[in-house]
Chain A
Amino acid sequence: NAGVTQTPKFRVLKTGQSMTLLCAQDMNHEYMYWYRQDPGMGLRLIHYSVGEGTTAKGEVPDGYNVSRLKKQNFLLGLESAAPSQTSVYFCASSYAGTGRSGANVLTFGAGSRLTVL
């Protein structure tokens, strides 16, 4: 009963380095999301996916890429990290549709703290 698992939980990068955050869910959810949380800014959507092989941009997509090759996984990549990408990153997932029990309710991972020096 893992729910949503994010790896790694902590990472320190130097400016210009690349990395990938992995999100895995075992609830057979169709939708997956990546948010970033910064002090005083709430959670802002980076990218999301409504199904395997599909992705879409959110509010703050610049500097990030994503892939959803398998339904249960959603990867967030930073090709060339910048100090402005220092943040806590949250992955979440949910069922599609509005009629199903639990639809529209996001299940969140525990977050990944990324520091870019």
Chain B
Amino acid sequence: AQTVTQSQPEMSVQEAETVTLSCTYDTSENNYYLFWYKQPPSRQMILVIRQEAYKQQNATENRFSVNFQKAAKSFSLKISDSQLGDTAMYFCAFMIGNTPLVFGKGTRLSVIA
């Protein structure tokens, strides 16, 4: 079974600083997709970034970027210039082909003014 591990239950960062959230996963497949979702206090699940495993280039979305290390099965999220609105739960998730998304347990990020 596929598993996703987020080893940091909670993290905090000063406003305007950079923070990296860790994620590792386990699979023997080659064709898969990796995601980071954000869940602010409103509870809404918001897609932050998506990475296809066959692409070597790391995905970026404005202040959000990933470090995808396929051999190490690692998919970390870097948030640059952290803002108070980045305070949220962050979930790493993983999908093989068309199978359902599997989530990690989440990292609670607090951005401190």
A interface residues, Cβ below 8 angstroms from B? 31, 33, 35, 40-45, 48, 50, 58, 88, 90, 92, 96-98, 104-106, 108, 110-111
User: Which B residues are within 8 Å of any A CB, using their own CB?
Assistant: 9, 31, 33, 35, 43-45, 47, 50, 91, 95, 97-98, 100-106
Cα–Cα, bound, A48→B100 (Å): 8
Q: Report chain B residues within 8 Å CB of A50.
A: 98
Contact of B43 among A42, A45, A110 (CB under 8 A): A110
Contact at A98–B101, with CB atoms within 8 Å? no
- When A104-B33, A110-B43, A111-B43 are in contact, do A98 and B106 touch as well, CB less than 8 Å? no
Question: A108 to B105, Cβ gap below 8 A?
Answer: no
Chain B residues contacting A44 (CB-CB under 8 Å) are: 103
Number of A-B residue pairs, CB cutoff 8 Å, is 46
* Separation of A26 and B35 alpha carbons in the complex (Å): 23
A residues less than 8 Å from B103 (CB atoms): 35, 42-44
Within the assembled complex, what's the spacing in Å between the Cα atoms of A108 and B31?
24
Chain A contact residues: over half helix, strand or loop, or mixed? strand
Contacts of B47 in A (CB 8 A): 105-106
Docked-complex contact A110 and B44, CB < 8 angstroms: yes
A90 and B45: CB pair below 8 A? yes
Chain A residues positioned under 8 Å from B100 (CB to CB)? 33, 45, 48, 58
Closest to A4 in B: B45
Write out the residue numbers on chain A whose beta carbons fall within 8 Å of the beta carbon of B101: 33, 45, 92, 106
| B98 pairs with A108, CB closer than 8 A | no
A42 B106 Cβ-Cβ under 8 A: yes
A108 near B45 with CB under 8 A, answer yes
Interface centre among B44, B91, B98 (most CB of A within 10 A): B98
Q: Which residue of B lies closest to A50 (CB)?
A: B98
